Structure 1
Amino acid sequence: MSIDNVFLTKDSIKFLLFLAKKNTLSMTKKYFCHDQLEADFYSQQEQQLTRGTIVVFHGLNQEGNKDTRILKLVGALVAIGFTCLVPRIPAYVELRSTTEYDFDSLASFLDHLSLTTTEINGYYSFLGPSTSCLFMSKLASKEQLKPKIKSLCLISPYFSAQNSFEEILESPKSFYAQLVLLKMLLHSQYTHEKNESLGDDINLLSQAITFCFQNKKEEEIKIDVLKFINQESSRGSPLYSLIRLLGKKGFITDTIKPFFLDISQRAQYEDHIAKIDASVTIIHSLHDDIFSPKNSVDLSLHLNKYQIKNSLLITKLLEHADLKFNSILKEAKPIINSLNYFFSHAQVK
């Protein structure tokens, strides 16, 4: 093993140990804002040298960049010498489909920061869970950012948006993920129809999603959500029936299909990731209850087709994008190898 690999392995182990800790590392935090976009920047206190800046993306999540899991991830990265930029992504906080403006504005924001801040040395690497694969891929293919992106790490991503979304909506998958996609469907319908009652349903669904996020492990969560919707929704609202039918074959009716196709098409990223210059690390949960690991296998094959360097790991250490440390002894070596691959390409030499 080379000296470089020894140091990489040491840092990968340190990274995992920090993730396992209950307390987050004490960090210095700065706030950046540009053209109505905002991001938090984290570094070690009095840090003189940095290995590089990693942009940590959140997925479809109403907590956004305040999600404690994201902050835990950031703390572990900062502990091994990286600085981290965590942008707030309005489309993902609002649980709606993205527009080209969302990508262009965030690309301009990152480009602006790379040119104007002393804390960032002109280069980025990207890391994010789940649906953040869309933002990472599209931003890394943008002409003004493309030469500045060194490496991507995708954690339990989807590949075919249409197939993945259909599987979530029409099979017994994560109820939380089903509610998130339902909100995206209703938002798509609202943008086309501007129906006021739909706006009320979207607000009600947002409350149900927050409740579900905070109580994911409760076995009776769907029953509790249905009770809440039944009590709070207006007469004639289809929301209760839609939630009751989630996870069942035939959920995507002729009425829903146009909005389903809309959110699926907006979530496609295959053509964009094929244009990037960065290396790609893919780590996927073996027993994923949202996106099956086949997504990452297909993504890796897609990258191979375009001769994009990539590393793929399917592991028991993840529960979708959350680490499970009960399998750490069996899974340690492969996860360390994957982290070594990402960190070796992410660091600025």
Structure 2
Amino acid sequence: MMYGSMEHMVKNRELVLVSYTEEGPVTDDHLKIRESNFNINGCKEGEVTVQNMWVSVDPYIRWLIKEPARALYFDTFKLNEPITSPMVGKVVFSANSGFEVGDVVTGMYQVSEYTIVEGSALRKLDTNLFKPSDYLGPLGTVGLTAWAGILLVGEPKPGDEVLVSAAAGAVGLLVGQLAKIKGCRVVGSAGSDQKVKMLKEEFGFDDAFNYKTQTDWDAALSKYFPKGIDIYFENVGGKMLETVLNHINMKARIPLCGMISQYNQDWKESYGVRNLINLVGKSGKMQGFTVVEYFHCMEEFVKEVGGYMQQGKIKYREDVHVGIESFLEAFNSLFSGGNIGKTLVQLTPK
């Protein structure tokens, strides 16, 4: 704990929203890096200064760069202020008795190289068993999203037939492995032959298909699910959801995690699913959810998934981009299918 030290000024860069955009990719017309002088020792009582190490890059951020009237489940970012994201960093100055210099912490706060944060907004991390970036991937909000979505919303049973869309992404990789642990048969859809091979050979999916080359999705689902689909973990939306609804079994469950195919479109131009009546005939459940609803499960989730990781039952991939200036490239890769696993921006050396 340190108080009242002399100013210690450094250069700091932060990622600022300068204009909203409703459609298309996010560019440097919308997000810009702002540089300023920063006093590391400028904490008030209860605060800590964090040198940030890792930034989580997630698709939902796209919704927060739209006009405030378009907000879904979070408030949109404010113009001319830094955007926020789940972060991991190291405490470099503390005016809070609960934190010491050197502690590794995580929280949801502004994307910058240095940040002053209220201690109440931070959680200390145990880096003896897991590396810091794991707490933005399999042990962070991404992991909690997968765990809650497939286990609490999807309610898998041994023998269930499970389809995971965007299966090579941050959430999809974990969903598939968790479903396998619970005794399900799991098939993933992904956007390249490389990803299909990886899902089967490295991550234990029973099967996978390339939705870009197997363009008759109805035929593909008939092939991979001759017994029908019990759980569809939805990350994509649009035409894929419509096709899946023609293959669901009685009492099917569809956790709606995201619909990334629609994020860069105005809602009036998005795909209209035409066969929702199938949910009636099949007594199916389609339920949306957000990770914030399950923050109270964090301890239970970390214990379970952390245990699987230690046992070698869950593997993971990271797609790492270096430097705050790489954020836009990292972010837009989520929509082009260029990422495998958890997309991160690394701000300081490991």
Indicate the structure with greater strand content.
2
Per the normalisation by structure 1, the TM-score is 0.29
When normalised by structure 2's length, the TM-score is 0.29
